[in-house]
Structure 1
Amino acid sequence: MPLSRTLVGASAKILEILGDQQLTIGQLYLAARESDKTTSYDELVACLAFLYGAGIIDYTNATVRRTDAG
């Protein structure tokens, strides 16, 4: 299985897309789909749950952003 199809690899891709921006989940999903047409909404949600649980991202005021730790 390619690294990009694993939870860790897909999460890294999400962090790359997010950069220093604050994006809504919808904006992040559209950007992820633009980057890789095979990205599913379920995959995005799994990555966000993983990254949030690890303290790497924060969800505030309907936007996702990297934390200082991320």
Structure 2
Amino acid sequence: MSTTTYSVIGMTCGHCEGSVRSEVAKLDGVTGIEVSAAAGRLTVTSTAELDDAAVLAAVDEAGYSATRA
């Protein structure tokens, strides 16, 4: 099991959190997602090491930008 945290820029509300959660949940191996607009954080738990590029692309697809924290 692997847990990785990302800083997300641009989220302001619960809808933003839901958009990010929805896109990241589409990635293979994801078992848990915690998103906080207030903290600007995304924490992803997965069965194996995730490809950072895939997570960042999913956040981008939701309309935000992110970096690994």
Q: Where on the TM-score scale, by shorter chain, does this alignment land: which range?
A: 0.3 to 0.5
Looking at secondary structure, tell me which structure has more helix per residue: 1
With the length of structure 2 as denominator, give the TM-score of the two structures.
Answer: 0.35
Higher RCO, Cα 8 Å, sep 6+: 2
